[in-house]
Structure 1
Amino acid sequence: MTSLPAVDIVGLTKTYGDRNALDQLSLRVQRGSRTVVLGHNGAGKSTLLEIIATLRTPTSGTVTVEGYETVKQAREARRLIGLTPQSNALDPLATTAEVLEFQGAALGLDRRNAARRTRELLDLFGLAEHRGTRISRLSGGTRRKVDLAVALVAEPAVVILDEPTTGLDPLSRLDFWDELKRLNHSGSTLLVSTQDLHEADVLATDIVVLRNGTVAAQGSPESLKQRVGERTLTLVLTDADASQTLLASARAPFRAEPDEPRTVRLALPGTAGALKVALDDIGQVAGDVEELRLTEPSLDDVFVALAAR
Structure 2
Amino acid sequence: MLKNTSVGVTDLMKSYGERTVLNGVSLHVRRGGRTVVLGPNGAGKSTLLEIISTLRSPTSGTVVVEGHDVVTDTRAVRRLIGLAPQSNALDPLATPLEVLGFQGAALGLGTRTARRRSRELVELFRLGDHQNTRIAKLSGGTRRKVDLAVALVGSPSLIVLDEPTTGLDPLARMDFWDELKRLSSDAGSRTLLISTQDLHEAEVLATDIVVLRDGKVIAHDSPDALKSLVGDRTLTLTLDTLESTDRLIEATLAGFRPESGEPTTVRLALPRDPAVLRAALDDIGTVAASVEQMRLAGPSLDDVFAALATG
TM-score range, shorter chain: 0.7 to 0.9
Return the letter of the residue paired with 2:233.
R
Among 206, 209, 212, the alignment partner of 1:207 is 209
Which residue does 2:113 correspond to in 1? 113
Indicate conservation of the 8 Å contact 1:8/1:63, yes or no: yes
Among 245, 248, 258, the alignment partner of 2:285 is 258
1:107-137 CA distance string (max 9 Å, x none): 0010000000000000000001111111011
Which residue does 1:225 correspond to in 2? 227
* Rounded Cα–Cα distance in structure 2 between residues aligned with 1:53 and 1:169: 28
Task: Give SS of 1:28's match.
Answer: strand
* Rounded Cα–Cα distance in structure 1 between residues aligned with 2:14 and 2:231: 33
Asked if 1:37 is matched to 2:37, the reply is yes
Larger mean CA deviation between 253-262 and 111-120 belongs to: 253-262
* Rounded Cα–Cα distance in structure 1 between residues aligned with 2:56 and 2:199: 27
Which residue does 2:218 correspond to in 1? 216
**Unaligned regions of 5+ residues in structure 1, if any?**
235-252, 263-290
Which residue does 2:296 correspond to in 1? 294
1:20-68 CA distance string (max 9 Å, x none): 1101110100101110000111110000000000000001000010111
Seen in structure 2, the aligned counterparts of structure 1 residues 111 and 232 have a Cα distance that, compared at 3 Å, is closer
* Rounded Cα–Cα distance in structure 1 between residues aligned with 2:229 and 2:140: 37
Deviation at 1:4? 3.9
Return the letter of the residue paired with 1:152.
L
Return the letter of the residue paired with 1:300.
D
Seen in structure 2, the aligned counterparts of structure 1 residues 292 and 87 have a Cα distance that, compared at 3 Å, is closer
Asked if 1:193 is matched to 2:195, the reply is yes
1:192-215 CA distance string (max 9 Å, x none): 000100000000011100011110
* Rounded Cα–Cα distance in structure 1 between residues aligned with 2:134 and 2:16: 40
Seen in structure 2, the aligned counterparts of structure 1 residues 77 and 232 have a Cα distance that, compared at 3 Å, is closer
Indicate conservation of the 8 Å contact 1:38/1:208, yes or no: yes
1:252-291 CA distance string (max 9 Å, x none): x8976535889xxxxxxxxxxxxxxxxxxxxxxxxxxxx9
Task: Give SS of 1:136's match.
Answer: helix
Task: Give SS of 2:5's match.
Answer: coil
Q: How does 1:74-223 map to 2 (within 5 A)?
A: 74-185=74-185, 186-187=187-188, 188-223=190-225
* Rounded Cα–Cα distance in structure 2 between residues aligned with 1:142 and 1:232: 37
Deviation at 1:220? 1.1
TM-score normalised by L of structure 2:
0.81
* Rounded Cα–Cα distance in structure 2 between residues aligned with 1:297 and 1:124: 36
Runs of 4+ in 1 over 6 A off after TM superposition: none
Which residue does 1:285 correspond to in 2? none
Task: Give SS of 1:46's match.
Answer: helix
Deviation at 1:232? 5.0
Percent of aligned positions with the same letter in both sequences?
A: 66
Seen in structure 2, the aligned counterparts of structure 1 residues 211 and 292 have a Cα distance that, compared at 3 Å, is closer
Return the letter of the residue paired with 1:127.
L
Return the letter of the residue paired with 2:41.
N
Q: For the pair shown, which has the larger CA radius of gyration, 1 or 2?
A: 1
CA RMSD of aligned residues (A): 2.4
Deviation at 1:294? 3.1
**Unaligned regions of 5+ residues in structure 2, if any?**
237-273
* Count of residues in Structure 1 that have an aligned counterpart in Structure 2: 267
* Rounded Cα–Cα distance in structure 2 between residues aligned with 1:3 and 1:86: 30
1:62-104 CA distance string (max 9 Å, x none): 0010111111010001100000000122111111100000000
Deviation at 1:233? 7.3
* Rounded Cα–Cα distance in structure 1 between residues aligned with 2:158 and 2:182: 14
Task: Give SS of 1:72's match.
Answer: coil
Seen in structure 2, the aligned counterparts of structure 1 residues 12 and 261 have a Cα distance that, compared at 3 Å, is closer
Return the letter of the residue paired with 1:112.
R
* Rounded Cα–Cα distance in structure 2 between residues aligned with 1:124 and 1:34: 19
* Rounded Cα–Cα distance in structure 2 between residues aligned with 1:18 and 1:308: 23
